[in-house]
A = this chain, B = another copy of it.
Amino acid sequence: MASNKMGSKPKVTIHHIAEKLNITASTVSRALNDNPRISEVTKKAVLKAAKQLNYQPNNIAAALRNGKSYIIGIIVPTADRAFFASVVRGIEEIANKLHYKVIICQSYDNYEKEVQTIDALLSARVDGIIASIGKNTENFDHYKRPQEKGIPLVLFDRTTDALEVSQVVIDDYLGAYKVVEHLIQQGCRRIAHFTSPKKVSVFKERLRGYMDALRDYEVPFSEELVIKSNLQLEDGRASMEQLLGLAERPDAVFSASDYGAMGALQVLKENGIKVPHEIAVAGFGNEPFTSFSDPALTTVDQFSLTMGRITAELFFEHFKASADKKLVPQKTVLKPELIIRGSTLRNAPPKK
């Protein structure tokens, strides 16, 4: 009577089902899991009783017993960047197909939070972790913990070679190279680059692509044209202001982030500078808003959905293998695509 007070939950377990049917919890458990050792008659009875009693399986108990939760944790700097959202979607797609659930955690590019999140996921006993490293993270020790615990880890996009981990990235070098090549072909000769001071490989790779393209096309490199910032909208604005103050202005800006490029674009428009004819602008990432601006922004598409799917597939390979031998860490590199739009197109478009 006391336990059936309103306000408290009924808490139906397999034992209640068992009791009702005069069988044991073992049988109920097996019936619910469609174990071939249980007769069809019993299975149907159990299913029916479960529905009647409004039974809700307790995954916590199962997870404890089985040692696996069928949950994989995803850590991204932020979920509201189209790129990350899309990767997550790709991962989810594959994971769900294999009856895994996914829990999304945001580090907000905050190192402390990233460390805490790893710990929380480990304590939550997720079966694996897929992550993209925060911008401010310079020490990667916390990413060693999952491996120590024997739970698989795969990194994507914002990765590091300091860890022996499988990773999926796009060829940032190639993407950047293509952008700069394109700008040069459009007649640009003083091409500025917005990059990040952070130790994140993607930015270093983009910088490398930028420099190599200049070198290959014998376009002079100028230190003053490379500007480091956090690459957000406001940073892009500030960087552009700085460039406009130069004795010799650039005739193109290639930002390692779309946000930075958008900031530059805004400043240029406010100053009445014509884009792309006076100064061309290109970004990186193909965020949706890049097609909304005027002119629309040339950028690099990262095939985020594909990246998510591939990351998940790679993850599950490791996952399956992790039981016995460890797989050798493997790096998958995807090819990006240059998306040419009005912000860099000086000649009339070929119209195909």
A residues neighboring B (CB under 8 Å): 7-9, 54, 56-61, 63-64, 69, 71, 78-82, 84-86, 88-89, 92, 101, 103-106, 108, 119-120, 122-125, 148-151, 262, 266, 269, 288-289, 292-294, 322-326
Contact = CB atoms under 8 A, between A and B. Distances in A.
Contacts of A292: 262, 266, 289, 292-293
Contacts of A60: 60, 63-64, 69, 124-125
Contacts of A125: 58-60
A68 to B, nearest CB: 10
Contacts of A56: 119, 122-123, 149
Contact of A289 (B92, B122, B289, B323): B289
A106 B86 contact: no
B78 A85 contact: yes
Contact of A9 (B82, B119, B150, B325): B150
A146 to B, nearest CB: 10
Nearest to A259: B288
B103 A120 contact: no
B80 A82 contact: yes
B92 A106 contact: yes
Closest 4 pairs (CB-CB, A-B): A80-B85, A9-B150, A289-B289, A294-B294
A326 B7 contact: yes
B106 A103 contact: no
28 contacts: A7-B323, A7-B325, A9-B149, A9-B150, A9-B151, A54-B148, A56-B122, A56-B123, A57-B123, A58-B125, A59-B123, A60-B63, A60-B124, A60-B125, A64-B64, A79-B80, A80-B82, A80-B84, A80-B85, A88-B106, A89-B108, A101-B120, A103-B103, A103-B104, A104-B105, A266-B292, A292-B292, A293-B294
A77 B295 CA distance: 31
Contacts of A288: 289
A344 B157 CA distance: 40
Given A79-B104, A292-B292, A294-B294, 20 more contacts: A7-B322, A7-B323, A7-B324, A54-B148, A56-B122, A56-B123, A56-B149, A58-B64, A59-B124, A59-B125, A60-B60, A60-B63, A60-B124, A64-B64, A79-B80, A80-B85, A92-B106, A101-B120, A288-B289, A293-B293
